[in-house]
Chains A and B, each alone.
Chain A
Amino acid sequence: MTETDVTLRVADLRVDLASGAQPVKGVSFDVRQGEMLGIVGESGSGKSMTLRAMSGLLPHGVRATVTGSVTVAGTELATASGLPPHHPRVGDRAAFGYVFQEPLAALNPGFTIRRHLLEALRAHGRLGDRSDRHDRLVAALADVRLPEPERVLRSHPHELSGGMRQRVVIALALIGRPHVLLADEPTTALDVTVAAEVLDLVQTLQREHSLTSVLVSHDLSLVAQRCDRVLVMYGGEIVESGAAADLMTSPQHPYTQRLLEATVDPFDPELRRTPDPEVESRAPLMTAGGVTVTYPARRRRQDPVVAVDGVDVAVRAGEVVAVVGESGSGKSSLAKALAGMQPVDDGDVRLGGRTVTTDRRDRTWLTGEVQMVFQDPYSALNPRMPVGTAIQRSLAIHQPALDAASRREEARRLLDDVGLPRSFEDRYPVELSGGQRQRVVVARALAAQPRVLLADEPTSALDVSVQAQLLALLRDLVDRRDLGMLLITHDFAAVRAIADRVVVMSRGRIVEAAPIDDLITTPTDPYTRRLLDAVPSARRTHTTQEST
């Protein structure tokens, strides 16, 4: 490539924190004009730190020394003294535009969208003439394909959906006419179908504005699908870089290979699961029949919200049933109803000949039968309780015959079962990584000797390689202990990895229920197809483009 082609050049970028840690250890890369570069890595790999350090956006209060050089469109931003300035400019354009993970956090809840845009215009010295200002604001929103821009201008952030908010954030980023658009996990907080739309938009804008962009993500298949070139970061260094296609087919570095192995492609035909006829012949352990959950209306004269609308689900011992849906589909309300934490308005949940209720007197029985694995392992454990004690509490409730010594021994055995060293029993949750904490949550659940495990998005807070391990652990436990498991998730990769049957929910109803292989290869419901189409994959076997 010629020098004039390079829009962004980062050379030997280093970040030294005051604490002595070095999250970025000499990172160099070029991005050509109009290119989309992907940076992939797990938490702690330094990918976000790289993005922030080179753009002068290190988190407030972080004491760090940044060295190296950053050149945008031929102008060097970083000086020998370290940090690039806040909001650097090159010529009359901003050097960078930013899109962050959580659009709600990027917007001020007290400001209308109009005010956000005006602030951005002012910051970039582009307020201009009052007469056509309104038209320019409308045009900025129309540019990011927001419907009804006039209405959006008058709205506050909370009145918009997640996807619309992220479009607003992109519009704000584009106001400074940036040379480079930096996007840090821009779709992680969004539903899959919405995420796909937002990324489509970024690519369209990229073509229209001949924009250069850097996309940072933990999701290898997403980056590979969207970007021209990919950098893989690990431990603050770039361990591999190359064209996206090459990286997916022939990864060179062991870390990339491991990452790729851990990344489940739902459309990989090798993942076919052979059903066990013995398991399939079993009678269901837990049956939900016509379950309906409604929440009272928020305001008077509004109808109550029907979160779950006549849902039938059954799970047998030794099988994993996945309930898939986007946010608002009612899958979490269904999970709460199954766990007896949410009253059922119609229908019933039957378990071992009894009906599940929210009655406090049934709690000990119910929690001995149904245990939960929570979404966020960082908040599911009491920070003031060593993990061994956390497991022993569950034992004390559900196996009261055990004395203190045998409780302790049993808790250690459970740590073995979930693949943690026994020495962890004295540790506090803060000393454990996310994956380790989630294993403790699983061990605590097993301590109750349940027959059914309810896992609500058990992997969404974890890194990709850790996700794969945890899913393998859950499947293994289901097989070894003949548990019935309900996996509540939006993630088809997780479903593909361990589920036997899938139930797809939309707006409180089941739209499709099928064995996993059938669902992946021949989805019948249009909504299921849309969900599957939004999954980033290299081996997709069908697309809506073909079918519609």
Chain B
Amino acid sequence: MTALDPTTAADPLSPGGVDPVLDPASARPQRVWRQLHRNPKTLVGLLVLVPTVLVAILAPWLTPYPYDQVYVGEVLGAPDADHLLGTDLNGRDLLSRLIMGTRVVVGIPLVVGLLTLLIGVPVGLLAGYLRGPFDAVAMRVVDIFLSFPWLLVALGLASVLGAGLSTVVVTLVVVYWPQVARVTRNSVIAVTEAEYVKAAAAIGESRTSIVLRYVLRNAYFPVLVLLSSMMAFSILNEAGISFLGFGIQSPDTSWGLELAAGSTYLSAAPHLVVFPGIAIVVVVLGMNLFADGLGDLLSRQGRNR
């Protein structure tokens, strides 16, 4: 048999050239832009999320009035030139309050997402890789936590911690971490079955190294997708908890709280419900689109593997 050059030999599937999309050497920014262009969902999501984050960071400088400044005599004022979105029950400028509320909208998903990952991923990783008794116990705990309705958790925690931001955060972490743990576990189990994990053991890799270098690197996509949609839901849940009075308390503000406060005066001052409502819908929609698009992108990468 002749020795053919293996790099050029008959292998029409890879004729020397490399798919530019998959080539890590090709310029990153262009590659990212091309991916976004092909995937309008992610693009629209980013168009909502990036301004939202900017507003949250710059909030104190953007508010036309101090968010807790009371203007006596302008209670429940309709939108006008002075107060673009009108004023609330206590005569505070609604626009300023919504701008300050952006900080909650951005902060809650970040904090809740981070804490959820810190608890859920290690539990799921160990359960999925070790299997056996640890897996059985961990998953039963997860089942128990999954059976808590968030409303009940919020109610219970509010009676212990009192209503406020910490109740919101703890409630959401309690409700979300078991989902992350379960998804991580299942993904880890699927990856652990892969030949390259067995191959890693065959070259003599230690268990820690296998878990970190081989399993986790290939198992995180579903977790990332779940996390991004959970972050969107956390905004809705925060609004819900604050609406019920277990969350953020006046004079602090959040979009859910404004919505709750305004709902009593729906017929007299509809703007108090309409504007926070629109804000919540737009941001949650943006996050969901982003999460959805991210899922598409990652699953396409998954196919290319």
CB distance A385 to B213 under 8 Å? Answer: yes
CB distance A372 to B9 under 8 Å? Answer: no
CB distance B6 to A426 under 8 Å? Answer: no
CB distance B205 to A430 under 8 Å? Answer: no
Of A6-14, A118-126, A319-327, A390-398, the one touching chain B: A390-398
Q: Is B30 an interface residue (CB 8 A)?
A: no
What residues on A are CB-neighbors of B4 within 8 Å?
258, 465, 469
CB distance B1 to A397 under 8 Å? Answer: no
Q: Is A448 an interface residue (CB 8 A)?
A: yes
What residues on A are CB-neighbors of B194 within 8 Å?
379
Min distance, Cβ B16 to any Cβ of chain A, angstroms: 10
Min distance, Cβ A155 to any Cβ of chain B, angstroms: 28
Interface string of A201-229 (1 = CB under 8 A from B): 00000000000000000000000000000
What residues on A are CB-neighbors of B19 within 8 Å?
431
Q: Is B10 an interface residue (CB 8 A)?
A: yes
**Per a CB cutoff under 8 Å, which of A234, A441, A469 touches B9?**
A469
Please report the C-alpha to C-alpha distance between residue A112 and residue B284 in the assembled complex, in whole angstroms.
Answer: 47
**Per a CB cutoff under 8 Å, which of B1, B203, B218 touches A371?**
B203
Min distance, Cβ A462 to any Cβ of chain B, angstroms: 9
What residues on B are CB-neighbors of A108 within 8 Å?
none
Q: Most A CB atoms within 10 A — which of B3, B5, B25, B203?
A: B203
**Per a CB cutoff under 8 Å, which of A341, A379, A444, A472 touches B203?**
A444
What residues on A are CB-neighbors of B202 within 8 Å?
339, 341, 367, 371-372
What residues on B are CB-neighbors of A445 within 8 Å?
203
Q: Count of A-B contacts with CB under 8 A?
A: 129
Question: Quick one: closest A residue to B197, CB to CB?
Answer: A382
CB distance A363 to B6 under 8 Å? Answer: no
A261-B2, A394-B204 given; A431·B13 CB < 8 A? no
Q: Is B150 an interface residue (CB 8 A)?
A: no
What residues on A are CB-neighbors of B195 within 8 Å?
374, 376, 379-380
Question: Quick one: closest A residue to B204, CB to CB?
Answer: A367
Q: Is B28 an interface residue (CB 8 A)?
A: no
What are the 8 A-B residue pairs with the smallest beta carbon separation, nearest first? A367-B204, A44-B12, A379-B195, A383-B305, A44-B13, A384-B217, A433-B14, A433-B11
17 contacts between A and B (CB under 8 A): A44-B11, A44-B13, A235-B12, A364-B204, A371-B203, A380-B196, A382-B200, A382-B214, A385-B213, A393-B213, A426-B24, A430-B304, A432-B14, A436-B7, A436-B11, A447-B203, A466-B11
14 new A-B pairs (CB below 8 Å) besides A44-B13, A466-B10? A43-B11, A341-B201, A368-B204, A379-B196, A381-B196, A382-B196, A384-B218, A397-B204, A419-B7, A426-B24, A428-B24, A433-B11, A435-B9, A465-B4
